[in-house]
């Protein structure tokens, strides 16, 4: 889901409301992928904890109040999820969003049925700590060698590396490719169908070994 613009707009509106210096869109993009408290602390490390908590609350309110319909799916997103699930892959979400926020977006897109497991930043430690992935591996009883993390931020790929999991970087998301390759992804994709074609042969899941 292409949520970058909505995140930036919501955060900048919250900064303005809270009387904080309004940071650039580039600065906000840099923290996408982190849990909200960690993101706000990164943006305003010298602000008191109470002031940062106020910004978190304001951001959440602006994000929800915004136009959810503007969060468009990336091309082929649903088709790729459908094909990966049909091929036999177990699909999961590891996100910097809160549980409430993730459930709201999954319900909006009617996507709950695609994912067998989900973890959110308010349930575990924030990316790039590996706890989200560690818990999902345990839930699925899945060896690290059989898992793959797909992400568009350096926090996604660093989390995968910290968990000992292979990763795939997405070139058209939040962070530039130069920041993704530092974490040695198996490949960088420019469109989601490349992921489907790499993982599915004749409608079946294949084993991609390190």
Chosen domain end from 69, 95, 122: 69
Chosen domain end from 31, 51, 69: 69
Task: Name 120's bridge partners.
Answer: 95
Q: Which helix (H) or strand (E) holds 166?
A: strand 166-170
What is the arithmetic mean of pLDDT over 79-89?
95
Mean residue pLDDT of the chain comes to: 93
pLDDT digits (tens, 9 = 90+) for 7-27: 999 999 999 999 999 999 999
- Residues 120 and 173 reside in one and the same domain: yes
**For tokens 């990966």, what's the residue?**
84
The answer to whether 17 touches 51, Cβ cutoff 8 Å, is: no
Chosen domain end from 69, 87, 111: 69
Q: Is the pLDDT of residue 116 over 70?
A: yes
Q: Is the pLDDT of residue 69 over 60?
A: no
pLDDT digits (tens, 9 = 90+) for 158-200: 999 999 999 999 999 899 999 999 999 999 999 999 999 999 9
- Residues 171 and 196 reside in one and the same domain: yes
- Residues 103 and 14 reside in one and the same domain: no
For 102-120, b where at least 16 C-beta lie within 10 A, e where not — what string? beebbeeeebeebeebbbb
What is the arithmetic mean of pLDDT over 53-82?
87
- Residues 95 and 120 reside in one and the same domain: yes
pLDDT of the residue at 163: 97
What is the arithmetic mean of pLDDT over 63-81?
82
For 129, the domain range is 77-205
Q: Is the pLDDT of residue 67 over 80?
A: no
pLDDT of the residue at 194: 96
The answer to whether 59 touches 14, Cβ cutoff 8 Å, is: yes
Q: Is the pLDDT of residue 210 over 90?
A: no
Query: Packing angle between helix 131-140 and helix 154-163, nearest 10 degrees?
Result: 60
Q: Is the pLDDT of residue 104 over 70?
A: yes
Distance of CA 162 to the CA centre of its chain: 16
pLDDT band at 206 (very low <50, low <70, confident <90, very high): confident
CATH number, domain of 50, equals: 1.10.150
pLDDT of the residue at 72: 82
- Residues 107 and 26 reside in one and the same domain: no
pLDDT of the residue at 209: 66
pLDDT of the residue at 71: 74
In a domain, 210, yes or no: no
pLDDT of the residue at 123: 94
- Residues 95 and 112 reside in one and the same domain: yes
What is the arithmetic mean of pLDDT over 66-94?
88
Rounded to whole angstroms, how far apart are CA atoms 173 and 162? 21
pLDDT of the residue at 108: 84
What is the arithmetic mean of pLDDT over 131-141?
97
Rounded to whole angstroms, how far apart are CA atoms 7 and 92? 22
- Residues 65 and 84 reside in one and the same domain: no
What is the arithmetic mean of pLDDT over 57-66?
90
> Domain tally for the chain?
2
Three-state SS string over 132-156 comes to HHHHHHHHHCCCHHHCEEEECCHHH
């Amino acid at each position: 889901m292409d949520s970058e613009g909505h995140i930036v707009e919501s955060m900048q509106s919250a900064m303005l409301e809270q009387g904080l210096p309004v940071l650039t869109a580039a600065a906000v993009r840099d923290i996408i992928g982190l849990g909200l408290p960690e993101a706000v602390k990164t943006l305003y490390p010298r602000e008191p904890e109470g002031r940062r908590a106020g910004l978190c609350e304001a951001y959440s309110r602006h994000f929800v109040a915004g136009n959810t319909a503007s969060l468009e799916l990336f091309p082929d997103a649903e088709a790729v999820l459908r094909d990966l699930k049909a091929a036999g892959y177990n699909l999961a979400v590891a996100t910097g969003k809160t549980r409430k926020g993730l459930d709201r977006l999954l319900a909006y897109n009617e996507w709950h049925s695609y994912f067998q497991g989900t973890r959110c930043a308010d349930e575990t430690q924030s990316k790039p700590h590996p706890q989200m992935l560690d818990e999902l591996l345990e839930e699925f009883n899945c060896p690290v060698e059989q898992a793959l993390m797909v992400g568009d931020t350096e926090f996604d790929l660093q989390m995968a590396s910290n968990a000992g999991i292979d990763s795939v970087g997405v070139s058209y998301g939040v962070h530039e490719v130069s920041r993704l390759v530092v974490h040695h992804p198996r490949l960088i994709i420019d469109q989601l169908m490349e992921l489907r074609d790499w993982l599915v042969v004749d409608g079946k899941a294949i084993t991609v070994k390190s």
